[in-house]
Structure 1
Amino acid sequence: MAKALTKEQMSLIKSSAPVLAEYGTAITKCFYSNLFNAHPELLHLFNHSNQKQTKQQQALANTLYAAAANIEQLESLLPVVRQIAQKHRSLQVKPEHYPIVGHHLLAAIKEVLGNDASDELIEAWEVAYGIIAEIFISVEKEMYQEVQEQEGGWSGYRRFTVKKKKPETSLVTSFYLVPEDGQTIPSYVPGQYITIKGYSQDEDDEYTHLRQYSLSDAPNQEYFRLSIKRDGTVSTYMHQQVEEGATVELTAPAGEFVTDLDGDDELVLISAGIGITPLMSMAKGALRAKRTRSVHFLHATTHKEAHVFFNEVEQLEETYSSFKRDVFYSEEDSRRITTEDINQAVRPNQKQQFYICGPEAFIQDISEALREAGVSNDHVHVEVFTPRIPV
Structure 2
Amino acid sequence: MTTATVLDQQTKEIIKATVPILEERGAEITKHFYARMFENHPELKNIFNQTNQRKGDQSKALANTVYAAALHIDNLEAILPAVKPITHKHKSLNIKPEHYPIVGENLLAAIREVLGEEVATDDVINAWEKAYGVIASVFIGIEKEMYEETEAKPGGWTGYRNFKVVKKVKESDVITSFNLEPADNNLFPAYQPGQYITVKADIEGEPYTHQRQYSLSCAPNEGYYRISVKREDAIGDHPAGVVSNYLHNQVEVGSILPISAPAGDFVLDMSDTRPLILLSGGVGLTPMMSMLETVIKEQPEREVYFIHAARASKYHAMADRVQEISAEYENVKSYVIYESPTPEDEGNYDLKGYINKEWLEQVVPTNDSAFYFCGPKGFMSAIYKLLKEQGVREKDILFEIFGPTTDITK
Q: With the length of structure 2 as denominator, give the TM-score of the two structures.
A: 0.92
- Supply the AA of the counterpart residue of 1:265: R
1:220-239 mapped onto 2 (5 Å cutoff): 220=221, 222-231=223-232, 232-239=241-248
Amino acid of the structure 2 residue aligned with 1:269: L
Q: Secondary structure at the match of 1:268?
A: strand
C-alpha distance in 2, partners of 1:304/1:348?
A: 27
Matches within 5 A, 1:220-369: 220=221, 222-231=223-232, 232-332=241-341, 334-345=352-363, 347=365, 349=367, 351-369=368-386
The verdict on how the C-alpha distance between 1:355 and 1:44 changes in structure 2, with shifts beyond 3 A counting, is same
* Counterpart contact for 1:266–1:295, Cα < 8 Å: yes
> Match of 1:191?
194
Q: Distance in 1 between matches of 2:319 and 2:291?
A: 16
Pairwise CA distance, 1:389: 4.0
SS at match of 1:213: strand
Matched, 1:211 2:212: yes
Matched, 1:26 2:28: yes
| Correspondence list, 1:108-119, <5 A | 108-114=110-116, 115-119=118-122
Q: What is the SS of the residue equivalent to 2:113?
A: helix
Letter in 2 for 1:229: K
Q: What's 2:166 paired with?
A: 163
The offset of 1:341, in angstroms, is: 2.3
- 3-state DSSP class of the match of 2:75? helix
Segments of 5+ residues of structure 1 without an aligned counterpart are none
- Superposition TM-score, scaled by structure 1 size: 0.96
Distance 1:133 1:141 in 2: 12
1:11-50 matched pairs, under 5 angstroms: 11-50=13-52
Equivalent in the alignment of 1:377: 394
Q: How many residues align?
A: 388
Rounded to whole Å, the distance in 1 between the matches of 2:198 and 2:379 is 24
Q: What amino acid is the match of 1:7?
A: Q
1:9 aligns with 2:18: no
1:348 Cα offset (Å):
5.1
**CA distance, structure 1, for counterparts of residue 158 and residue 366 of structure 2:** 44
Is this contact kept in 2: 1:50–1:56, CA < 8 A?
yes
Q: Conserved in 2, the CA contact under 8 Å of 1:262 and 1:289? A: no
**Partner residue in 2 for 1:152:** 155
Check conservation: 1:59, 1:388, Cα contact below 8 A.
yes
Partners of 1:348 and 1:363 lie apart in 2 by 17
Post-superposition shift, 1:261?
Answer: 2.4
1:180 partner letter: A
Q: Secondary structure at the match of 2:7?
A: coil
Cα distance, 1:346 vs structure 2 = 5.0
Secondary structure, counterpart of 2:109 in structure 1? helix
Residue matched to 1:87: 89
Secondary structure of residue in 2 paired with 1:381: strand
Aligned-partner residue type, residue 335 of structure 2:
D
* Local SS of the residue matching 2:404: coil
Question: What does residue 237 of structure 2 align with?
Answer: none
Q: Does residue 1:125 correspond to 2:136, yes or no?
A: no
Distance 1:374 1:361 in 2: 20
Question: RMSD value over aligned CA atoms?
Answer: 1.5
| 1:331 counterpart letter in structure 2 | S
Q: Does the 8 Å CA contact 1:80/1:389 hold for their aligned counterparts?
A: no
Equivalents in 2 of 1:342, 1:99: separation in Å?
Answer: 48
